[in-house]
């Protein structure tokens, strides 16, 4: 079976890290495939929600495959190529205009934690364990990854994870902001199914533009340098067919049929 699997069902795309014997460690080829998968999912009109998960219950992912590092990251120039693919894959996940969810069971550390943090939501099982123990290998995370951690969990928690190299359990991870929900291992899949079933019926434009607005707020916090398109975006939604459909469905007490336009 493939190390990285993609399935699409009822408007939900599921990307599965599929190396259970290696606790779903991500090798170089998988990082490259993630770039291609994100590009495909972005342009697929049938996909409304994207889920990232690992095979089995023991690990979302234990990070990059360290066994490759001697061959792939033995000097700065090799590392630059390898790290470039990692950064492109993570950027691809972050830039998806569709909602993204990481379903975290077991270990979610190193590159696996970076992948999860680049998703919009992180739903954890009770056995989830998060961490960035890169100091044990004397490796660094990239600037983009550092920026994302600071955005999600703040400076203090980011330094805590990086400087101590410690692992945190699900309750502490939730208190940090690394995950938003925790559920028993035997029910977390059902919780995810219910969540995605509700999300695919929501307005795709509202989902996409809220994500776009959030990035604008993060990178232009004073809101003084907005482009005309950025400034108009909250009002532009009222000029869409889906807005008219949403209002009519509410008035007619029926389920809306959003088209994403």
Strands (E), the chain: 4-9, 12-17, 49-54, 59-61, 100-104, 107-109, 121-125, 129-131, 167-169, 181-183
pLDDT at 77: 86
Report which DSSP code applies to 205: H
What is the per-residue pLDDT across 35-54, written as a single tens digit (0 to 9) for each?
999 999 999 999 999 999 99
Residues 6 or more apart in contact with residue 234 via CB below 8 angstroms: 213
Domain parsing of the chain, residue ranges: 4-199, 204-251
Report which DSSP code applies to 100: E
Give percent above pLDDT 90 in the chain.
Answer: 86
Q: Using CB atoms within 10 A of its CB, is residue 94 exposed (0-12), middle (13-18) or buried (19+)?
A: middle
The count of other CB atoms within 10 Å of the CB of residue 167 is 17
What is the per-residue pLDDT across 188-216, written as a single tens digit (0 to 9) for each?
999 999 999 999 999 999 999 999 999 99
Instruction: State which H helix or E strand residue 146 sits in.
Output: helix 143-164
pLDDT at 69: 78
Half-sphere exposure of 126 (CA within 13 A, CB side): 5
What is the per-residue pLDDT across 143-163, written as a single tens digit (0 to 9) for each?
999 999 999 999 999 999 999
**What six digits make up the tokens of 4?**
């990285």
Mean local confidence (pLDDT), 2-11: 95
pLDDT at 182: 98
What is the per-residue pLDDT across 163-173, written as a single tens digit (0 to 9) for each?
999 999 999 99
Backbone angles phi, psi at 138, to 5 degrees: 60, 50
Report which DSSP code applies to 98: S
User: What's the CATH number of domain 4-199, 3.90.226.10, 3.40.109.10, 1.10.3720.10, 3.60.90.10?
Assistant: 3.90.226.10
What is the per-residue pLDDT across 61-105, written as a single tens digit (0 to 9) for each?
999 888 887 777 777 888 888 889 999 999 999 999 999 999 999
Whether the per-residue pLDDT at 1 is higher than 70: the answer is: no
- Among residues 7, 5, 1, 3, the alpha carbon closest in space to that of 196 is found at 7
pLDDT at 72: 76
Polymer length of the chain:
261
Backbone angles phi, psi at 121, to 5 degrees: -130, 150
Q: Give the Cα separation of 235 and 198 in Å (integer).
A: 25
pLDDT at 67: 85
Pairing assessment for the beta strands 12-17 and 49-54 based on DSSP bridges: parallel
**What six digits make up the tokens of 103?**
């379903």
Q: What is the pTM of this model?
A: 0.94
The count of other CB atoms within 10 Å of the CB of residue 40 is 13
CB burial of 125-146 (b: ≥16 within 10 Å; e: otherwise) equals: bebbbbbbbbeeeeeebeebbe
Strands (E), 85-178: 100-104, 107-109, 121-125, 129-131, 167-169
What is the per-residue pLDDT across 13-39, written as a single tens digit (0 to 9) for each?
999 999 999 999 999 999 999 999 999
């Amino acid at each position: 079976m493939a190390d990285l699997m993609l399935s699409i069902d009822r408007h939900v795309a599921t990307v599965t890290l599929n190396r259970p014997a290696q606790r779903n460690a991500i090798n170089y080829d998988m990082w490259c495939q993630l770039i291609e998968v994100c590009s495909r999912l972005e342009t697929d009109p049938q996909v409304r929600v994207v889920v990232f998960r690992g095979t089995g219950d023991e690990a979302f992912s234990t990070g990059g495959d360290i066994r490759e590092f001697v061959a792939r990251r033995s000097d700065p120039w090799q590392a630059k190529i390898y790290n470039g693919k990692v950064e492109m894959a993570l950027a691809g996940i972050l830039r998806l205009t569709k909602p993204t969810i990481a379903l975290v069971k077991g270990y979610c550390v190193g590159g696996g934690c970076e992948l999860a943090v680049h998703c919009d939501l992180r739903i954890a099982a009770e056995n989830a364990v998060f961490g960035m123990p890169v100091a044990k290998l004397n490796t660094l995370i990239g600037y983009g990854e550092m920026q994302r951690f600071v955005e999600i969990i703040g400076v203090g928690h980011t330094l805590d994870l990086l400087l101590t190299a410690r692992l945190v359990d699900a309750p502490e991870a939730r208190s940090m902001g690394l995950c938003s929900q925790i559920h028993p291992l035997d029910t977390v899949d059902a919780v995810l199914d219910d969540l995605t079933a509700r999300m695919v019926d929501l307005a795709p434009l509202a989902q996409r533009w809220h994500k776009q607005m959030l990035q604008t707020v993060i990178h232009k916090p004073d809101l003084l340098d907005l482009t005309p398109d950025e400034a108009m975006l909250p009002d532009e939604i009222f000029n869409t067919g889906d807005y008219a459909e949403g209002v009519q469905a509410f008035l007619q007490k029926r389920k809306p049929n959003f088209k994403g336009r």
